[in-house]
């Protein structure tokens, strides 16, 4: 995707103040640190703007990216991600049906061959207990693993797809993508699990962020990035004719407690 930084910044702006910049990143652009890719931080630096990423989302994922313009704000915000007090919500479209209205995926992650994230247990050991997917502790593979929990709510379904709102409680690398795929509900167009190239993008979107921000009045950042039309179009067919109503339902499911 070929954008000049000024054009990308203007088109994708969600919120900005003296300390932070929030953008609605298109799928296909890296945030920072991707080998062999020009990323957003480099693009900004080339135009004289220094930005410090508060968090990362994958290149294939669209949606909210929060960057600090000064180090004091960066430290305050990243501590909330590290302590897992930042509230995050994502949207995804799965290439499947049959998910419950609400569910929890409680599966530890590990890193396997070629640095690939996987569930830290044999696939056949994953069991569904009510509307929670888990593995017994005895089935967790030896070695380093990371407890990981994703909560979700099903917003809509067609004959072939389901639209989900998700909250990654633990926020591990590739967590939502791996969790959904390993329980049999992969995200449409996810290259980690679908090498066909049949879809122009991965249908995962960083939708909402809420963090404390001491320099603001009131002292909070409450951000939302509305998905663009390409998120809703699975191939040439939209999964909903009324995205605004669907997002309204998603907000209702996360307010006031913000728990899915």
Look at residue 256 in the predicted model and tell me its pLDDT.
44
CA dist 193 and 125 (Å) reads 20
Look at residue 201 in the predicted model and tell me its pLDDT.
95
CA dist 246 and 207 (Å) reads 13
Q: Is 58 a catalytic residue?
A: yes
Contact status, residue 57 vs residue 23, Cβ threshold 8 Å: no
DSSP 57: -
CA dist 179 and 81 (Å) reads 20
CA dist 19 and 206 (Å) reads 21
- The pTM is what? 0.94
Q: For residue 88, what are the contacts with CB-CB under 8 A and spacing of at least 6? A: 167, 168, 171, 206, 208, 209
247 in the Ramachandran plot: left (φ > 0), alpha (ψ -120 to 50) or beta?
alpha
CB atoms closer than 10 angstroms to residue 168: 19
pLDDT tens, position by position, 159-191: 999 999 999 998 899 999 999 999 999 999 999
Closest CA to 155 of 244, 88, 63: 244
| Model confidence at 38: pLDDT above 90 | no
- Hey, which residues does 104 pair with through a beta bridge? 132, 151
Average pLDDT over every residue of 58-67: 97
pLDDT tens, position by position, 21-33: 999 999 999 999 8
- Hey, which residues does 103 pair with through a beta bridge? 152
Helix (H), strand (E) at residue 80: helix 71-82
**DSSP states along 115-163:** G-EEESS-GGG-EEETTEEE--GGGSPSS--B--EEEEEEEEE-SS-EE
* Per-residue confidence band for 212, with pLDDT thresholds at 50, 70 and 90: very high
Task: Tell me the residue length of the chain.
Answer: 260
The mean pLDDT of the chain is 92
CA dist 2 and 14 (Å) reads 20
Q: Which of 2, 17, 58, 242 is catalytic?
A: 58
- Write the burial class of residue 209 (CB in 10 Å: 0-12 exposed, 13-18 middle, 19+ buried): buried
Q: Is the dihedral of CA 124, 58, 171, 189 positive or negative?
A: negative
């Amino acid at each position: 995707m070929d954008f000049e930084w000024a054009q990308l910044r203007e088109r994708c702006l969600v919120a900005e103040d003296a300390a932070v910049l929030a953008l609605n990143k298109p799928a296909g652009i890296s945030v920072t640190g991707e080998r062999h890719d020009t990323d957003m931080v480099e693009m900004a630096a080339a135009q004289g703007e220094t930005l410090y990423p508060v968090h990362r989302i994958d290149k294939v994922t669209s949606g909210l990216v929060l960057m600090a313009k000064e180090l004091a704000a960066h430290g305050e915000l990243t501590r909330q991600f590290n302590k897992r007090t930042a509230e995050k919500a994502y949207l995804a479209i799965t290439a499947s049906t049959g998910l419950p209205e609400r569910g929890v995926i409680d599966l530890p992650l590990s890193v396997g061959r070629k640095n690939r994230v996987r569930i830290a247990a044999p696939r056949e050991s994953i069991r569904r207990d009510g509307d929670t997917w888990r593995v017994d502790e005895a089935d967790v593979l030896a070695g380093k693993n990371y407890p990981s929990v994703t909560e979700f709510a099903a917003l809509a379904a067609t004959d072939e797809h389901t639209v989900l709102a998700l909250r990654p409680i633990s926020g591990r690398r590739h967590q939502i993508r791996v969790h959904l795929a390993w329980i049999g509900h992969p995200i449409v167009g996810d290259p980690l699990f679908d090498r066909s190239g049949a879809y122009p993008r991965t249908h995962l979107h960083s939708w909402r962020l809420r963090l404390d921000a001491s320099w603001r009045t009131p002292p909070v950042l409450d951000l939302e990035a509305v998905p663009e039309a390409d998120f809703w179009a699975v191939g040439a067919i939209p999964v909903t004719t009324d995205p605004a109503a669907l997002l309204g339902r998603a907000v209702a499911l996360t307010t006031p407690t913000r728990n899915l």
